[in-house]
Structure 1
Amino acid sequence: MNAWAMPQVDETRCTLCGLCVEACPCHAVTLGERGPIFSCPEECPMLGACPAGASGCSLCEEVCPTGAITCAFEIVGGSPPAQGHGVRALG
């Protein structure tokens, strides 16, 4: 079993402002209908795969005006999703 991590999102607090998308130097965040979608783990900075060289920068958490994103990364067991498949992180 592989272990991987992703930020947690409280959809009830997300206003869909898109600041998290703009802040991510790795382009690992897109905005869905209910909140941010993280392209983890293949582009997740916490795993050292960030092309911009970030290492767990937590910029998405820092810029979120409502505190909807928590980068106290939760380890999730199992295999990571296939390359190019985004994952919705729910709090």
Structure 2
Amino acid sequence: MMSTWPVPLIDSERCDGCGLCAHACPDGAIAVCGGTAVILHPLACQYHGFCEQICPQQAITRFFDVSLKLQTDKE
């Protein structure tokens, strides 16, 4: 079974690592690592869009679909 859902795409060249997006994310999906924001928990992301709205550098402007294949005992 294949599932997809949108998660933010963070432009690491534009991101200044301020952390506003991580604080704005109600799901705790974003963290600042190595001076840039990253999607640390993509499965937690419900894509509310708060991260995109609050980013002063406009480093979060799009989303992409994450695909997850769930294995079952039948496969």
Instruction: Tell me, in whole angstroms, the C-alpha distance in 2 between the residues paired with 1:60 and 1:73.
Output: 11
CA RMSD across the alignment: 1.9
Give 1:79 shift.
3.3
Give the aligned partner of residue 27 of structure 1.
28
Percent of aligned positions that are identical: 35
Paired positions, count: 68
User: Which of residues 74, 77, 86 is equivalent to 2:64?
Assistant: 74
Give unpaired runs (5+ residues) of structure 1: 46-55, 81-91
**Could you list the per-position Cα deviations for residues 66-87 of structure 1 after superposition, in whole angstroms to 9, with x for gaps in the alignment?**
10012x322244538xxxxxxx
Runs of 4+ in structure 1 over 4 Å off = none
Give the aligned partner of residue 9 of structure 1.
10
**Could you list the per-position Cα deviations for residues 19-41 of structure 1 after superposition, in whole angstroms to 9, with x for gaps in the alignment?**
01111111111111152222112
Contact 1:11 1:34 in 2 (8 A): no
1:68–1:76 CA distance, 2 compared to 1 (3 A): same
Give unpaired runs (5+ residues) of structure 2: 71-75
More strand as a share of residues: 2
Instruction: Tell me, in whole angstroms, the C-alpha distance in 1 between the residues paired with 2:52 and 2:66.
Output: 19
Is 2:48 the counterpart of 1:57? yes
Provide the TM-score with structure 2 as the length reference: 0.74
